[in-house]
């Protein structure tokens, strides 16, 4: 049961992070690096850094979710055999 809860938590986290990445990408497109100065350039760099961090976090969640799914399949296979 705890594994099911953890898997659902990871799935929800993945969905929320993917939405955040889309929102951040939309915001990033509204910034023009060609004419940016000062604060706007800082925003461009911050948005790029945030997208990298989101990507890393999404990858970590995907890997963890994959391990949970594989673990569940192994347990199910074992239960079906015996």
pTM higher than 0.75 for the full model?
no
Give pLDDT tens digits for 37-47. Answer: 888 888 888 98
The structural domains of the chain, with segments of one domain joined by +, span 2-81
- Tell me, what's the pLDDT at 1? 63
| Average pLDDT score over residue span 2-24 | 88
What's the pLDDT score for residue 74? 52
The b/e string for 36-63 (b: 16+ C-beta within 10 A; e otherwise) is eeeeeeeeeeebeeebeebeeebeebee
Q: What is the mean pLDDT of the chain?
A: 82
Average pLDDT on 41-58 reads 90
């Amino acid at each position: 049961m705890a594994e099911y809860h953890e898997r659902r938590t990871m799935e929800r986290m993945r969905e929320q992070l993917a939405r955040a990445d889309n929102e951040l990408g939309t915001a990033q497109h509204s910034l023009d690096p060609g004419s940016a100065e000062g604060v706007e350039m800082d925003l461009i760099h911050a948005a790029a850094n945030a997208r990298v961090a989101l990507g890393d976090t999404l990858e970590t969640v995907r890997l963890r979710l994959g391990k949970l799914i594989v673990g569940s399949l192994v347990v199910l296979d074992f239960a079906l055999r015996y």
